[in-house]
Amino acid sequence: MEAQSTPLTSDAPERTSPSARHAVVIGGSMAGLLAAHVLASHADTVTIVERDRFPDGPEHRSGLPQDRHTHVLLESGQRALEALLPGILETMREEGSPRVGMPSDVVQWQGGRWFRRTAATTHILTGSRPLTDWVVRRRVLSHPRITTLQGTEVTGLLGDATRVRGVRLRERGAAALRQDARGLEADLVLDATGRSSHAPAWLAAIGAEPPHEELLDTGLAYSTRFYRARDDDANADFRGIYVVPNPTQPRGGILLPMEGGRWSVILSGLRGSEPPTDEAGFLAFAAGLPHPVLHDWLLEAEPESAVHGFRKTANLRRRYDRPGRRPAGFLATGEALCAFNPVYGQGLSVSAFSAVALRDALDDPRRTPTTGFVQKALFAAAQQAWDVSAGADKNMPGARGNALRPRAVDRPADWYLNRVQDRACGNPEIGAAFRGVLSLTRPVTSLFAPSIAKAVLFGPQPEAPSEPPMRRETR
């Protein structure tokens, strides 16, 4: 408990600056890169320790488990990223990352109904994960205070239950297995190693208390394949297809553009309805979606890659924010703190505004940036994304985990939110509010604003297209 109120910085009397002298970031993920950028304003040196070696360009990286799958950057993430790295969005667009408007650019089916393609109220960037990482990595690593240790893995923490004082390192590879781990001292250690983080075990090894973990798992799996643009795509009046699964329809599919005239197609299914990773099975699964619009597109498309599967999609939250016997000088961010079902597309965006939360907590002139204070700020940055992802998944058939705890208050809320979704397809005002919450630009409370509540509770069922709307609305 006492360690939770200890400042992040060293208590050595000769230090007059409140900034840490050396910070170590474990993991060169998006969350790690952006956190390192923030910490470079508070430390003399920031060292990013990465198990892989970074590619020189927008190329796939073996240690990034989802880089061969569809990724989006929500509008909330774009705003946060631009606040951290001014001009970065323009660079992404220059490098070819497409900008897709919702709902105008997307043919969307949800809850048995097609969405009207009215004017866009939010936009997503749909460049590949290697491109997005490369653009950000190139910018962050140009900072003179940031260095990297690549091909190196952390094997544990230095310090004790009161304070973390660094990390134990070992080079990767067969020869490295015969080497003893070496120490790297630091005033602050930040874990950004993702959902497979070993930090709970590392903390236990130095006598500290690992965090309580909350889990909610639908068993969802997905498979992704990249395609070349078809000849008629240039004349098409849509830039995406989105078939959203629900408790009564366990299969989903998404088509989105990428850079370089390519498209990504992701098929998803809940436990027992997992999409295959062979070509014939991939097409057969798409044929089982509620409408053949995506399957028909696939039949005319030219594949550019193999089919890649992914299965680790549980919502997982580590409660470092709760009181406990944990050391000062250690933080967790990104999916090492809170991992979401990737089908909701929140991960990159939460990494960005978690870095904004880190910046704001360290810069807050009213508070000493203690470990507990900063960790709570990082936890709060991921709260709405958790509410959206776990809130939707808890109603899916076969959902499991200790976070699956129904409460009496959930029943009327679920009833209301079901009406919101049912009316979002045809009512532009409700649709804008609904998309704002999903894109994390509006709070959940905006769905209960008087005008929205009136339309949800008392308004008529709005008209919606009876067939896939292949053209935008012009009025």
78 found inside a domain: no
Same domain, 320 and 299: no
DSSP β-ladder status, 188-191 and 330-332: parallel
- Residue with tokens 């003399």, as numbered in its chain: 44
Same domain, 302 and 321: no
Same domain, 229 and 304: yes
**pTM of the prediction?**
0.92
226 found inside a domain: yes
Same domain, 171 and 40: yes
| pLDDT recorded at residue 405 | 78
Same domain, 298 and 355: no
| pLDDT recorded at residue 175 | 56
Query: Which residues contact residue 69 at a Cβ distance below 8 angstroms, ignoring those fewer than 6 apart?
Result: 129, 222, 224, 264, 266, 308, 310, 342
Is residue 395 within 8 Å of residue 217, measured between CB atoms?
no
Same domain, 20 and 55: yes
Same domain, 306 and 317: no
Q: What is the pLDDT of residues 431-448, one digit of tens each?
A: 999 999 999 999 999 999
The residue type found at 360 is D
Same domain, 142 and 198: yes
Same domain, 161 and 62: yes
How many domains, the chain? Answer: 3
Q: What angle in degrees, to the nearest 10, is found between the helix axes of 383-393 and 428-438?
A: 110
Residues (pLDDT < 50) of the chain are 1-20
Q: What is the residue range of 302's domain?
A: 220-310
Same domain, 29 and 154: yes
Q: Whole-angstrom Cα distance, residue 73 to residue 123?
A: 9
CA 261 centroid distance within chain: 25
Q: Whole-angstrom Cα distance, residue 130 to residue 270?
A: 27
Q: Whole-angstrom Cα distance, residue 50 to residue 349?
A: 21
| pLDDT recorded at residue 409 | 64
107 found inside a domain: no
Same domain, 144 and 206: yes
Alpha-carbon radius of gyration of the chain = 23
Give the chain's count of helices (H) and strands (E).
13, 21
121 found inside a domain: no
Is residue 28 within 8 Å of residue 50, measured between CB atoms?
yes
Same domain, 258 and 203: no
